[in-house]
Homo-oligomer: A and B are copies of this chain.
């Protein structure tokens, strides 16, 4: 029998974020038995140069390391690639020219979700790594759709909190990371943002741990990408399965 198509998740950037995307894929596609869940392969080899270092400070490029992952996923039978790192989307087009597989785009996924929760022209904000801001992963494309980005009154201090929250989360101090990130949301809401794109895969992981009431103003880019992953898998036929439909 044919089954849903297998997702290839390029993870490890960081490891918790890749796992979080997979968990959201499983949680958001409920199934009564194992065999009805969405198939995926998670490549989590985090020995990839830091994306923000590469974008801001001429650090080593992560592209070769990401392509190792893409090739491994191609060979494993994945039918598409999803990148569990917003900053790594700065290399999305470079990846697309180097693989025959479709590569999903977190910005498309976020744009789709935004259109369902705020009107075009609404003030929004982005919490992300400095690399994601610098590489303009989100802003020009969402501005082209009519959204208006607001900034904190003290942008350097606000970004310092975001950086610290992400760093703590990657280092396993997830609750403290969440507290820093919740504090970083406040000046964006004060500036009038109706939604804050949680545009780094570590951010929703950390906010979930600290149970802040501000979380409801966040738009979780990982959850949006997970829904795009599920939609892709359900829309495409997978390989021959060994699961017999007559056995549970």
Q: Is the CB of A33 within 8 A of B170?
A: yes
A197-232 contact mask (Cβ, 8 Å, vs B): 1 or 0: 000000000000000000000000000000000000
Q: Is A175 an interface residue (CB 8 A)?
A: no
Answer whether A247 and B27 are a contact pair too, CB < 8 Å, given A35-B47, A68-B242, A72-B75: no
Q: Is A234 an interface residue (CB 8 A)?
A: no
Q: Is A244 an interface residue (CB 8 A)?
A: yes
Of A12-20, A119-127, A144-152, A186-194, which binds chain B? A12-20
Whole-angstrom distance between the Cβ of A109 and the nearest chain B Cβ: 20
Whole-angstrom distance between the Cβ of A21 and the nearest chain B Cβ: 10
A1-37 contact mask (Cβ, 8 Å, vs B): 1 or 0: 0010010000011111001001100110011111111
Most B-side CB within 10 Å, residue of A33, A36, A41: A41
Q: Is the CB of A64 within 8 A of B12?
A: no
Q: Residue of B at shortest CB range from A54? A: B247
**15 CB < 8 A contacts A-B:** A15-B26, A15-B38, A33-B50, A34-B50, A35-B48, A36-B46, A41-B42, A41-B43, A49-B243, A53-B247, A53-B248, A60-B242, A65-B243, A72-B76, A72-B77
Chain A: residues with CB nearer than 8 A to chain B?
A: 3, 6, 12-16, 19, 22-23, 26-27, 30-50, 53-54, 59-60, 62, 64-65, 68, 72-73, 75-77, 170-172, 238, 241-244, 247-248
